[in-house]
Structure 1
Amino acid sequence: MASTTTVLALAAQQRRGNPWLRYLGRRAMYFVASLVVLVTLAFLLVQLIPGDPARASAGELATPEAVEARRIELGLDQPLVVQYLRFWGGVLTGNLGDSFTSRTPVIDVLTTRAPATLELALLAVAVVLVVAIPVGLAFGALTRGQRRPGTEAGFTSISAVVAVIPEFLAGIVLVYLFAVNVQWLPVAGRSDAASYVLPVIALALGPTAALTRIVRAETHTVLEQDYIRTARSRRMSAARLYRRHVLPNLLTSTLTISGLLLGGMIAGTVLVENIFAWPGLGSTIVSSIQGQDFPLVQAIILFYGAAVLLINLVVDVILIVVDPRTALDAA
């Protein structure tokens, strides 16, 4: 009877297949479906922007005949469904049209401006991880078991305030303090290493405080587990305990939140770049909306959305490498 049960269990497992592959396949399907929604929204959102794309492309001084000719050239005289299918064709082939203002291919603008935005976002998330994990772990250890209530109250109050400071407000304050007042750092632009300091801090300040609070709370939870008590009873050193047991168990939640934070940081670059005159996509999309440069607006929306979706997919893959139980639970 036992052997029959074992055979049936193995057969059921074979029918279900590899849980890792099922997990990755499901996430890939979500990614593709999200991309379809993203492309559709990018197409529809630009339709809602006030103004005439044909007029914006032909120029304010163009005659009605020239505007109508430009409308036909751009395919804007076609039904909306036809325009939507043409837009999909451009997305799939990488031909997103030409910028109305610069008359250059949109893809060239993206490849020129995107590196500055990615540098800013990646440096900011590196700062968040390097600061938030050890600081949150340290405060979690200091205040475990309701110890040091004064320290816990001070940490909770300060981190709560810092976590809700908007990027643009942090940027304005940083410019006034360190660029205008004491003149230690440049006000704007992307030149030397010093020009990265203020925009990176403005972008990373709030997420660092938020992630520090999460790491501290997770540290408290992990320290209450039975296996931690067992490790302490074996007189394991504190350094080894935190390195081998506490920190690895923090990674799952930390990586999940970090992926969400990085996606938010990429979106937050729009405000920060405009404050610091950073030559990235954030400042470009604002000028493109003001100038009714519709192809460029659509391309930047697609870039931001695809970057966030890709980050979430990569985080999901990293999670099943760090903690294979993620794939088994989701399968």
Structure 2
Amino acid sequence: MESTRVQLGLDKPIPQQLLDYMAGLLRGDLGTSIQTGQSVAGTIGARFPTTLTLGALGFVVAVIGALPIGMGAALVARTGRGRTVNSGISGFLGILIAIPDFVLSVGLIAVFSMWLGLFPPAGWGEPRNAVLPVLGLALGSMAYLARIVQVEMIKVLDSTYIATARAKRLPQRVILLRHALPNIVTATLTVGGLLFAGLVAGTVIIETIFAIPGTGATLVSAVGTKDYPMIQGMVLVYAGMVLAVNLIVDLILITIDPRTTIAEG
């Protein structure tokens, strides 16, 4: 035990331990795993691309599904007979938002793998292996983002410039794609950036359920074995990714909508 304490630097005063750890961070050294004896940075570097790929696929699916659903629900809501349909869509989206990812993932495995036999229940590396994990990760976020798109689209459709475009007898497709869609990008992109960071962090559960060799499964294993250097390294990487995504989103918003800078100023 004493040898391990010396090896981990736990025999030094707490301030010295903090300084040593911060100095290691500047060199890209996140410490050594207690469980495996391997470099934490090396382990994360080897597994993080899988996690990032899973999160990116989930984000793409969420956005591609949310835009037409949200826009369609907003268009239906403007018609008198469509209010019932709109309420049904909103209720269904609310249910998807409320279902936890792990419950939804288990349900997808039960239906599409065990019952229908369409997709494998676990694994990674082939396109078929990614279908269920991506759906389990993306459906809740897609429903949430669709609700944002729906609300923003209703506001845009009630605006003056849309009324002007209709007065010019522009085709509905032109009104939606050229005038309405660009004006819902700001709110959608803001929420989407937060969702992307949450999706990558949310892969912890998905990777455990589908036995995907990413950083999420590694983090769960590290918590179970009390591998503190690995846990610290993972938390820092996830936190840094969230900050980076938020910064990138803010820069994109300033670029596409200069009014953001004026409003904040």
Does the pair score TM above 0.5? yes
Distance 1:73 1:162 in 2: 48
2:75 corresponding residue in structure 1: 141
RMSD, aligned α-carbons: 1.2
Distance 1:275 1:282 in 2: 10
Q: 2:184 is matched by which residue type in structure 1?
A: L
Distance change (3 Å), C-alpha of 1:139 and 1:82: same
Deviation at 1:142, TM superposition (A): 2.1
The answer to whether the 8 Å contact 1:125/1:262 transfers is: yes
1:150 alignment partner, SS class = helix
Distance 2:170 2:234 in 1: 52
> TM-score when scaled to structure 1?
0.78
Distance 1:115 1:266 in 2: 11
Tell me if 1:91 matches 2:14.
no
Instruction: Name which of 22, 29, 44 aligns with 1:110.
Output: 44
Distance 1:103 1:168 in 2: 31
- Structure 1 portions without partners, runs of 5+: 1-66
Distance change (3 Å), C-alpha of 1:147 and 1:225: farther
Q: Can you list the C-alpha shifts for 1:31-77, whole angstroms capped at 9, x where unaligned?
A: xxxxxxxxxxxxxxxxxxxxxxxxxxxxxxxxxxxx10221222101
1:245 corresponding residue in structure 2: 179
Deviation at 1:191, TM superposition (A): 2.3
Deviation at 1:148, TM superposition (A): 1.1
Tell me if 1:159 matches 2:93.
yes
Q: Percent of counterpart pairs with the same letter?
A: 39
1:329 corresponding residue in structure 2: 263
Instruction: Name which of 304, 307, 313 aligns with 2:238.
Output: 304
Tell me if 1:212 matches 2:163.
no
Q: How does 1:123-138 map to 2 (within 5 A)?
A: 123-138=57-72
Comparing 204-213 with 75-84, which one deviates more in the overlay?
A: 75-84
Distance 1:133 1:124 in 2: 14
Distance 1:266 1:117 in 2: 7
Q: Can you list the C-alpha shifts for 1:248-274, whole angstroms capped at 9, x where unaligned?
A: 000000000101111211121111110
Q: How does 1:220-235 map to 2 (within 5 A)?
A: 220-235=154-169
Instruction: Name which of 203, 218, 226 aligns with 1:284.
Output: 218
Q: 1:319 is matched by which residue type in structure 2?
A: L
The answer to whether the 8 Å contact 1:99/1:296 transfers is: yes
Q: 2:216 is matched by which residue type in structure 1?
A: G
The answer to whether the 8 Å contact 1:266/1:308 transfers is: no
Distance 1:161 1:69 in 2: 54
Q: 1:264 is matched by which residue type in structure 2?
A: G
Deviation at 1:146, TM superposition (A): 4.9
Q: 1:111 is matched by which residue type in structure 2?
A: G
Distance 2:169 2:156 in 1: 18
1:256 corresponding residue in structure 2: 190
2:251 corresponding residue in structure 1: 317
The answer to whether the 8 Å contact 1:128/1:207 transfers is: yes
Distance change (3 Å), C-alpha of 1:223 and 1:108: same
Q: 2:231 is matched by which residue type in structure 1?
A: V
> TM-score when scaled to structure 2?
0.97
Distance 1:77 1:175 in 2: 48
Structure 1 stretches (4+) deviating beyond 3 angstroms?
Answer: none
Q: 2:210 is matched by which residue type in structure 1?
A: F
